Amino acid sequence: MELPVIDLAPFLQFSAKSNGYSAEEKLNHELKNLCSEVSRTLRETGALLVKDPRCSAEDNDRFIDMMEEYFEKPDDFKRLQERPYLHYQVGVTPEGVEVPRSLVDEEMHEKLRAMPKEYQPSTPMGPDPKWRYMWRVGPRPSNTRFKELNAEPVIPEGFTEWKDTMDSWGYKMIAAIEAVAEMAAIGFGLPNDAFTSLMKQGPHLLAPTGSDLRRYGKEGTVFAGYHYDLNFLTIHGRSRFPGLNIWLRNGQKMEVKVPIGCLLIQTGKQIEWLTAGDCIAGMHEVVVTNRTIDAINLASQQNRSLWRVSSTLFAHIASDAVLKPLGHFAESPTASNYPSLCAGEFVEQELSVINLKGNREL
C-alpha cells in the first residue's frame, strides 16, 4: 500500500478567495471530496503525504544543509545549547536521552507481544542514539500557566543564518499543517476552524533530529523506537536517508517513501483526544534498513554528509486550551476515555510517563 499524495493547491486557492467562508455553503463537490479524503486517510493510516506549493524541495534542502553542518560539530560545542532544566523543550537534546515509549510502557509491551511477527517493531537496546534540536516557532502567549513549555529559543554561536532558516522553514510547515487541519475538520464534519482555533499561540516545535550514520549505520540500528507523538499533528520534509516505518490502524507495518517535494504528516495524541479516538495517534519508528544502507553508500561515494537529518515539526494545541472531544465526537461511545483537561497538563503528564523531568520521546 502507498499513502495517497494530497495536493493542497486547490484548497489554498479557494481559501485565499473565500476569507471567512462557511465551509458547508461554499465548498464545491471536488473540494469536499478532497477534505473527506484527508480525514479518511488520517483515520485509516495515521499519516498523509501532501504537496504544498509554498514548501519547495529547495526550502527543505536549505534547512537540511544547515542542520547537517550543525550536527557535524563536536559534541562539546553542541552541548552548549543543552537545556535539561527546561525539560529539553528548547535547544539540543544529546543522543542517549530520549527514551522510546516501548521501553517503559508495560501496556505497550503487551500489545507488541500480541502482534504478528512480521508487523512487530524493531527492539531498541536502550535510549535513542540520535540528537535533536528544539526550536520554538510562532508567537507565544503573554500569560500562560506553562512557562517552561513556552521558553525562548536557543541560537548556536557562529550560525548567522540560523534564526532566518529555522523560522522560514518552520512557518511554512505550520502553514501546511493549518491547511491540513482545516481540511480534516471539514472532512470530520466539524467547523473548518475547529482545530486551527485551538492551535493559536501553541508551543509549536521545529525539532529536527540528527543521527550519525558513520557510528550507527549498521542495519537494524533503531534511531527512534516504536512510539506515538504526544502533540496534535507532526510534519516532516523528505529525509536524505530512508528508514521511517509506520503502523496503519489495522496493525499493518509500512515503510514510508516520501516523494521529492512532498511533506509527510502524522497524527498525534492530541488529535486523538479531540476526535474521541476516531483518529488515533500513529505509531512509528526510525530504523536503519537496507534502503538506508544504499543511501549511505551513495552519499559516501558523493562525499556528502552521513548525518541523517529529519526536518520534523510538532504542531501543538495551545497549552492553556482545553483538550476534549469536539462537536459530534462528544457524543461518541468512546468520549468518556478522553476527559477534558488543559493541553499543557496533558503534555506534562505524557512527559512524566516517559521520564522527562529528565527524558523525552516525542
| Annotated domain spans of the chain | 5-19+27-146+154-354
Kindly indicate the confidence band of residue 237, based on its pLDDT and cuts at 50, 70 and 90.
very high
Lowest mean pLDDT among 153-157, 204-208, 320-324, 355-359: 355-359
d(CA 274, CA 232): 9
Kindly indicate the confidence band of residue 25, based on its pLDDT and cuts at 50, 70 and 90.
low
**Dihedral sign (CA 343, 234, 90, 137):** negative
pTM across the whole model: 0.92
**Mean pLDDT of the 137-147 span:** 82
Lowest mean pLDDT among 14-23, 164-173, 217-226, 339-348: 14-23
Amino acid at 126: G
- pLDDT tens track for 96-113: 888 777 777 777 778 888
Kindly indicate the confidence band of residue 293, based on its pLDDT and cuts at 50, 70 and 90.
very high
d(CA 202, CA 346): 13
- CA 167 → CA 12, 32, 137, 171, 176, distances in Å? 21, 32, 6, 6, 14
d(CA 223, CA 246): 14
Q: What is the pLDDT of residue 114?
A: 86
d(CA 76, CA 231): 30
Q: What is the pLDDT of residue 339?
A: 96
Is the CATH number of domain 5-19+27-146+154-354 2.60.120.330? Answer: yes
- CA 280 → CA 202, 303, 331, 332, distances in Å? 21, 41, 17, 14
Is residue 361 predicted with pLDDT exceeding 70? no
